[in-house]
Chains A and B, each alone.
Chain A
Amino acid sequence: DAGVIQSPRHEVTEMGQEVTLRCKPISGHDYLFWYRQTMMRGLELLIYFNNNVPIDDSGMPEDRFSAKMPNASFSTLKIQPSEPRDSAVYFCASSLDRREETQYFGPGTRLLVL
């Protein structure tokens, strides 16, 4: 298995633009997680899905952020409109069950909003 796949790996955009980050979880995994990592705040859980259904989105910073999982093999995290403070590395992770120790992280998308 190729592991969790994220695209793009790097994104540079201007403030106000829409940004869409993509994730393909490991096949057969029922849980998908979106995280954000910054030097100031470390790694934060934004939202997670179980069987394509959002379960906990309490970590989503504000309404500019939205996440979808239209099917078991694809999820998106969208920021509209983007702001410079959204600059971070965004990770997607998937797991077979809810246990934290079984989460497999993707390589991340490094986002820079100018």
Chain B
Amino acid sequence: GESVGLHLPTLSVQEGDNSIINCAYSNSASDYFIWYKQESGKGPQFIIDIRSNMDKRQGQRVTVLLNKTVKHLSLQIAATQPGDSAVYFCAEIRHSSASKIIFGSGTRLSIRP
């Protein structure tokens, strides 16, 4: 099924601290996951991806963790900076099914100075 966002959850983090944003995905058959960042007035921007045969992937200041048992995805941002303020959402894809992409509803990350 698809997630529906009635209220956008907000995470407030002190500048310099680490941020952890969570996402529950819906389809156990999904085999590919992406985290996107969307700044105000802009389109989504790819951050990092992970395939279902992995449980962790690291990028520059970001780490994605995948727990297939509970269908949970998380994005960790190290040393959060003001420029990290945005809405973050995950997306799941099942490549065997015409690659239909389903986006989560998103979490707003707010940085306190």
Please list the residues of chain A having a beta carbon within 8 angstroms of any beta carbon in chain B.
Answer: 4, 39-45, 56, 58, 91, 93, 98, 100-103, 105-108
Q: Interface residue count for B (Cβ, 8 Å)?
A: 26
Which residues of the partner chain A approach B41 to less than 8 Å between Cβ atoms?
107-108
Number of residue pairs A-B, CB distance < 8 angstroms: 57
Given contacts A4-B43, A43-B44, A93-B43, contact A100 B101 (CB under 8 A): yes
Given contacts A42-B106, A44-B103, contact A105 B93 (CB under 8 A): no
Q: Is B105 an interface residue (CB 8 A)?
A: yes
Known: A40-B5, A42-B104, A105-B45. 18 other contacts (CB 8 A): A39-B5, A40-B4, A41-B2, A41-B5, A42-B103, A42-B105, A42-B106, A43-B91, A45-B100, A45-B101, A56-B98, A91-B43, A93-B43, A100-B49, A103-B46, A107-B41, A107-B42, A108-B42
Which residues of the partner chain A approach B46 to less than 8 Å between Cβ atoms?
101-103
Please list the residues of chain B having a beta carbon within 8 angstroms of any beta carbon in chain A.
Answer: 2-6, 8, 32, 34, 41-46, 49, 89, 91, 93, 98-101, 103-106
